[in-house]
Amino acid sequence: MEIFKIVGIGIIATILTIVLKNQRPEISLQISIVTGVIIFILVVTKLTSVLETLNILARKVDMDLVYITTILKIVGIAYVSEFGAQVCRDAGEGAIASKIEFAGKILIMVLAVPILIALLNLIVELMP
Amino acid sequence: MINFLRSWILNIVSVVIFITIVELILPNSSMKKYIKMIVGLLVMLVIINPILDLMHGKVKLEEDIFRTSSAIHKQELVLNLNHFKGTQQKQIISVYKGNIEKYIKDQIEFNNKIRVLSIDSSIEENVESKEFGNIKELAIVLSNSENNLSKKGIQPVSNVVININENRENDNIEKNENILKAIKEHISKYYSLDKDKININIQKTEK
């Protein structure tokens, strides 16, 4: 079972970080980053299969593929930036974390602009 | 008509289901509202699109989106390209400058048996200029300490013989002047550089 693995890694890492926090805070930070990366990787493989299934589903009902790819890209950006921001926040660097989130927001907006313009064009054409 | 309605409803329902699943796996953070807004735009598109189809015939919405996003990418690329061009040019110029300085140094040391401490050149860096790459100014610092570079290894002691003679000092200066003249002549001949633009100093580190 995957979940036992992940929870085990998480608990062990938590105990280690708590033990080390007073003596060597920098090493406890590294442990937490590495744990985050490991869990992220373990879950990302599962996420890929889920996304693949969604893609196949979308193709079956003949949805426009642009929407799907855009949404998936946005979700990916949100996840990665969230991960980075959380790692930074764990280390006590709230400022850097908010910058990472800011970058993620901008990239999401860049992806959204074409959809926005298409919608606007559509509405303009719809007007008599 | 029934067919049209069927595909429309199917499309809307599938998009809504899809979006629900996507929202489930979203990280719950400040990102969520941005994503929700974009997803809302998409739902609007999906709902409106068939109406337009009905009124105006087939509209290629995907093409529209692609065109806009490719325009954005192109703009980005152009910006990046300009930046890279600038950096590349700077690197090329610095390498070129280094090569010229090294070459001049080698030449002076070889021809005049004198040590060159440093060479500082300024080069026409404007690409549009006709004289791009020409040397504009040249500052050379020579060392006086080991005047005879080639003999240094052979007879190190004999240099320290009595040095009270004033004549010799004069001689030295004259010799230096000659060397300077020769170097200037040489460089200005090779690089078609005005002699006034060449600045040579001799550093006295004898004692």
List A residues 45-74 in contact with B (Cβ-Cβ < 8 A): 47, 50, 54, 57-58, 61-68, 70-72, 74
Under DSSP, is residue B140 helix (H, G, I), strand (E, B) or coil?
Answer: strand
Two tokens, residue B64: 């529209």
The pair phi, psi for residue B185, each rounded to 5°, is -55, -50
A23 Cα to chain B: minimum distance (Å): 32
Two tokens, residue A118: 């298409």
Quick one: which of A48, A46, A115, A54 has its CA closest to B34? A115
Rounded to an integer, what distance in angstroms lies between the CA atom of residue B59 and that of residue A126? 11
Element (H, E) at B191: helix B166-191
pLDDT 10s digits, A43-100: 888 878 887 887 787 777 666 666 777 888 888 888 888 888 888 888 888 899 999 9
Render A1-54 in DSSP notation, one character per residue: -HHHHHHHHHHHHHHHHHHHHTT-HHHHHHHHHHHHHHHHHHHHHHHHHHHHHH
Q: Which residues contact B196 (CB under 8 A, 6 or more apart)?
A: none
A56 Cα to chain B: minimum distance (Å): 11
The answer to whether the Cβ–Cβ distance between B64 and A78 falls below 8 Å is no
Q: HEC states along B53-87?
A: HHHHCCCCHHHHHHHHHHHHHHHHHHHHHHHHHHH
Render B117-134 in DSSP notation, one character per residue: EEEEEEE---TTSTTTT-
Cβ-Cβ contacts under 8 Å, A117 against chain B: 64-65, 68
Choice among A103-117, B51-65, B128-142 with the minimum mean pLDDT: B51-65
Residue written as token pair 């105006």: B56
Q: What is the pTM of this model?
A: 0.58
Rounded to an integer, what distance in angstroms lies between the CA atom of residue B108 and that of residue B116? 8
B90 Cα to chain A: minimum distance (Å): 29
Please give the angle made by the CA atoms of A97, A102 and A108, to the nearest 5 degrees: 130
The pair phi, psi for residue B123, each rounded to 5°, is -125, 145
pLDDT 10s digits, B72-128: 888 888 988 988 888 888 888 888 888 888 888 888 777 777 777 888 888 777 777
Strand partners, B121: B138
Q: Residue range A10-28: average pLDDT? A: 89
Percent of chain A whose pLDDT exceeds 90: 15
Cβ-Cβ contacts under 8 Å, B25 against chain A: 47, 50, 75
Nearest CB to A115; choose among B27, B30, B42: B42
Quick one: which of A63, A51, A100, A49 has its CA closest to A78? A100
Cβ-Cβ contacts under 8 Å, B28 against chain A: none
Do the Cβ atoms of B39 and B20 come closer than 8 Å?
A: no
The answer, yes or no, to whether residue A109 has pLDDT greater than 70, is: yes
pLDDT 10s digits, B145-168: 555 554 444 545 555 555 555 565
Do the Cβ atoms of A78 and B35 come closer than 8 Å?
A: yes
Is the dihedral angle over the CA atoms B138, B143, B147, B152 positive or is it negative?
negative
Which pLDDT band, with edges at 50, 70 and 90, does B129 fall under? confident
The answer, yes or no, to whether residue B12 has pLDDT greater than 80, is: yes
The pair phi, psi for residue B186, each rounded to 5°, is -60, -50
Cβ-Cβ contacts under 8 Å, B45 against chain A: 67, 115, 118-119, 122
Question: What is the rounded end-to-end Cα distance, in angstroms, of chain A?
Answer: 60
The answer, yes or no, to whether residue B202 has pLDDT greater than 80, is: no
pLDDT 10s digits, B56-74: 766 676 777 778 888 888 8
Element (H, E) at B5: helix B2-24
The answer, yes or no, to whether residue B206 has pLDDT greater than 60, is: no
Amino acid at B193: L
